[in-house]
């Protein structure tokens, strides 16, 4: 039996679900991975780290080789998306400090060479929208549309068929980003990253939840690795 009490595990569970979804690239498979590790023995680490370690160990290997080895992808997700120190991320993955440092440096270099995709940005704040555009273009992607309202987002998605959507939730008078995404996904199958100041609205275990959530303010590296995982999801890049 795991030594953690229920309160400790429940407190760590939203983080574990976010990590698992990012590792697998999908909401449902990520949640299934969390359910599986909760029924098994967890390693002797603090609760949150223990869940991360169990998820990392149980995550299926990519069906085909992708641009980043699995340990490098997991290390970037832990440090950039989950905001762990490199030392704690190394503990989760069973790496020495030296190995973790070498792996994360190699991973950051490799991110610059990933396959590009077309991105639609849904954001009502012009400065934030331009910042997102600049950052994803620095990662090698193409921004094919920038929408500030729900209706505009749906129109642009239908016209431009993006390979990835970056969306805020609160679009002010322009509506709701999650509603826009739901309408878009009725017509096209496209991965979505929510970049929001309200992540708790998307991690409630109620209703339809996304696979990728980044909290504002965000680090550029967090956006880069989330974009990589959303596009490839552990699969081989399309060339």
Point out which residues pair with 119 in neighbouring strands.
Answer: 143, 164
For the segment 8-54, what is each residue's pLDDT rounded down to a tens digit?
A: 888 888 889 989 988 887 788 888 999 999 988 899 899 999 999 99
For the segment 132-163, what is each residue's pLDDT rounded down to a tens digit?
A: 898 888 777 889 999 999 999 999 999 999 99
Q: Per the confidence metrics, is the pTM higher than 0.75?
A: no
The answer to whether residue 124 scores a pLDDT higher than 50 is yes
Residue 45 CA from chain centroid, whole number: 24
Between the CA atoms of 71, 72, 74 and 75, what dihedral angle is there, to the nearest 10 degrees?
A: 110
Lowest mean pLDDT among 39-48, 106-115, 130-139, 200-209: 200-209
Q: Do domains 6-111 and 118-232 have the same CATH topology?
A: no
Backbone torsions φ then ψ of 222, nearest 5 degrees = -60, -40
Cβ burial, residue 127 (10 Å; 0-12/13-18/19+): exposed
pLDDT interval class at 80 (50, 70, 90): confident
Nearest C-alpha neighbor of 136 from the set 180, 158, 166:
166
pLDDT confidence of residue 198: 66
For the segment 151-196, what is each residue's pLDDT rounded down to a tens digit?
A: 999 999 999 999 999 999 888 888 888 889 999 989 998 888 888 7
Q: Among the ranges 85-94, 98-107, 124-133, 140-149, which has the highest mean pLDDT value?
A: 85-94
pLDDT confidence of residue 86: 93
The answer to whether residue 234 scores a pLDDT higher than 50 is no
Between the CA atoms of 85, 52, 13 and 34, what dihedral angle is there, to the nearest 10 degrees?
A: 160
pLDDT interval class at 62 (50, 70, 90): low
End-to-end CA distance of the chain: 46
d(CA 142, CA 163): 10
Give the CATH H-level superfamily of domain 6-111.
PhyR, sigma-like (SL) domain (1.20.140.160)
Domain ranges of the chain: 6-111, 118-232
Domain 118-232 has CATH 3.40.50.2300: yes
């Amino acid at each position: 039996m795991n030594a953690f009490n229920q309160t400790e595990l429940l407190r760590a569970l939203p983080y574990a679900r976010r990590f698992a979804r990012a590792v697998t690239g999908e909401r449902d498979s990520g949640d299934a991975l969390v359910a599986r590790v909760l029924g098994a023995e967890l390693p002797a680490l603090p609760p949150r780290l223990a869940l991360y370690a169990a998820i990392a160990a149980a995550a299926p290997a990519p069906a085909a080789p992708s641009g980043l080895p699995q340990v490098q992808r997991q290390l970037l997700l832990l440090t950039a998306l989950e905001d762990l120190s490199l030392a704690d991320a190394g503990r989760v993955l069973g790496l020495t400090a030296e190995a973790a440092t070498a792996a994360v440096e190699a991973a950051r270099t490799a991110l610059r060479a990933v396959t590009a995709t077309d991105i639609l940005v849904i954001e009502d704040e012009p400065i934030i929208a331009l910042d997102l555009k600049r950052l994803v273009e620095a990662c090698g992607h193409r921004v094919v549309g920038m929408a500030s309202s729900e209706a505009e987002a749906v129109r642009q998605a239908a016209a431009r068929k993006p390979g990835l959507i970056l969306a805020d939730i609160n679009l002010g008078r322009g509506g709701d980003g999650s509603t826009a995404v739901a309408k878009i996904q009725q017509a096209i199958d496209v991965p979505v990253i929510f970049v929001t100041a309200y992540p708790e609205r998307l991690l409630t275990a109620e209703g339809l939840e996304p696979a990728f959530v980044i909290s504002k303010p965000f680090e550029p590296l967090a956006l880069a690795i989330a974009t990589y995982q959303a596009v490839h999801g552990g699969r081989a890049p399309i060339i």
